[in-house]
Chain A
Amino acid sequence: MTTMRRGHGPASVAGVFAFFLGAGLILDGDWTWRGGLLMAGGVALLAAALLGTRRA
């Protein structure tokens, strides 16, 4: 039986990826809405991972 460290897992990796990709869309291309949505999605995924996603 393995226990993942809190905040580690597919959701947190996808969250980090989406957050920074969204930031890139705003910083590089001024794609405010699309980038903002990606960043918000990333934060939601990260929050879900950090608030207790533990797999037995």
Chain B
Amino acid sequence: MCHPWLAAGVTCVLALVLVRELGPVVRGPAGGARAADTGLLGVRLRTWFRGWVEPVVDALLAAGLSANVVTALQLLASALCGLAFGAGWLFTAGWLLLSCGTLDVLDGGMARKRGAANPRGAFIDSVVDRYADGAVCAGLAVLYRDDWALWAVLAAFVGAFMVSYTRARAEGLGTECRVGLAQRPERYVLLAAGSIAGALGSHLACSPVPERVLLTASVCVVAVLANATALQRAVFVLRRLS
């Protein structure tokens, strides 16, 4: 059943929130860092988002929660996101995907603020992040099980894992590697944007075409960018090691 009026209202609220929050960030002075180094989202957006969740970090710490609890919540949210993608609940899946990204920022912020950032916590966070990526891709694979876009999902899955593997391997060899066009936040924002915009478009047009087209396009873009980022990191590390 389509809900064009609700979709129109939600689109207006979303536009209002984005203009109110992101307007000053976009109009602000441009940073000197290159997108290839800092990611497509850039330093300004990342800084704004960290500032936006900062009060939540304080509130969660005041409530006595630990960073590991928030990491576990992230895993739960990603599992729900995978289920939502598998069931074709694209708006909910997109929203849960953004929540996963937010929880990932929150747990790191909590650990740093409490002075509890340590190798053990970083290891748990990395492992949970990979399972979270796997859960989201599994949901997309179920959604596209009878479609050519399944190949794009698989490519995105491989690219996402290679992005983190190249960095982990580089760090194992004693080289820091933080460059990359499409790191995890970029991939999540792209997928969530395609999913949410597609679901709203389908309800506004009362047609399944927009959600199929927009989500498939965003999965293809993520597949290309994730693998390009993995290659970019491989070249960066090879230059450092030679």
Contact = CB atoms under 8 A, between A and B. Distances in A.
A4 interface: yes
A26 B56 CA distance: 27
Q: How large is the interface on A (under 10, 10 to 19, 20 to 34, 35 or more residues)?
A: 10 to 19
A28 to B, nearest CB: 4
Interface residues of B, number: 28
Interface stretch (B5-13, B30-38, B130-138, B225-233): B5-13
A4 B95 CA distance: 25
Contacts of A41: none
Contact of B52 (A8, A19, A21, A30): A8
A10 interface: yes
Interface in B54-99: 55-56, 59-60, 84, 87-92, 95-96, 99
A4 B54 CA distance: 10
A27 B199 contact: yes
Nearest to B199: A27
Interface in A27-56: 27-30, 55
Nearest to A16: B17
Contacts of A26: 3, 6
B187 interface: no
Given A26-B3, A27-B3, A10 B199 contact: no
Which 6 pairs, one residue from A and one from B, show the smallest C-beta to C-beta distance? A24-B92, A28-B89, A10-B59, A24-B91, A9-B55, A23-B10
25 contacts: A8-B55, A9-B55, A9-B56, A9-B59, A10-B59, A13-B56, A16-B17, A19-B13, A20-B10, A20-B14, A21-B96, A24-B91, A24-B92, A24-B95, A25-B92, A27-B3, A27-B7, A27-B10, A27-B92, A27-B199, A28-B87, A28-B89, A28-B91, A29-B89, A30-B1
Given A9-B56, A23-B6, A23-B10, 10 more contacts: A9-B55, A10-B60, A13-B52, A16-B17, A17-B99, A21-B92, A24-B199, A26-B6, A27-B199, A28-B92
